[in-house]
Amino acid sequence: MADHLEDMSSNFDLEEPDTDSLREPPAATQTPNPIRRTTRPKVGMLPPWKVVLLNDQVNGMEDVVITIKRLTQLSDQAAVRRMIEAHTRGRAMLLTTHRERAELYKYQFASRGLTVTIAPA
């Protein structure tokens, strides 16, 4: 059996591996990464849209203020100012946000009987 093991060991190369072939190529031969991510739009960079409340003769002033406060994060005073501006001038800008959220505001105000328009800011 020992003779058999000696015969098998002669089949294996027990020398050290050539480490030169395992080294990384020099930095000068490496190609730069061609993928550029600078053109990708970021969430904070979405184009702004304005949400504008229009005056109507149907809803009471108090109901308009309550609706503005419920649907937006405006304070009591800011909601009253926007309601008065819409009542006297016919329209008041409520806020500026991205397009999808502006469309959501438009739907939410419409479901409460108020009319808002949205447009690029």
Cβ-Cβ contacts under 8 Å for 118 (sequence gap 6 or more): 49, 50, 51, 52, 99, 102, 103, 105, 106
pLDDT in tens, 37-88: 556 556 557 999 999 999 999 999 999 999 999 999 999 999 999 999 999 9
Whether 79 is in a domain gets the answer yes
Higher-confidence position of 80 and 8: 80
Output the domain CATH number for residue 62. Answer: 3.30.1390.10
User: Is 75 in contact with 33 (CB distance < 8 Å)?
Assistant: no
Domain that holds residue 94: 46-120
- Match 């100012």 to its residue by tokens: 81
On the question of pLDDT at 8 being above 60, the answer is no
Whether 77 is in a domain gets the answer yes
Residue type, 59: N
Number of domains in the chain: 1
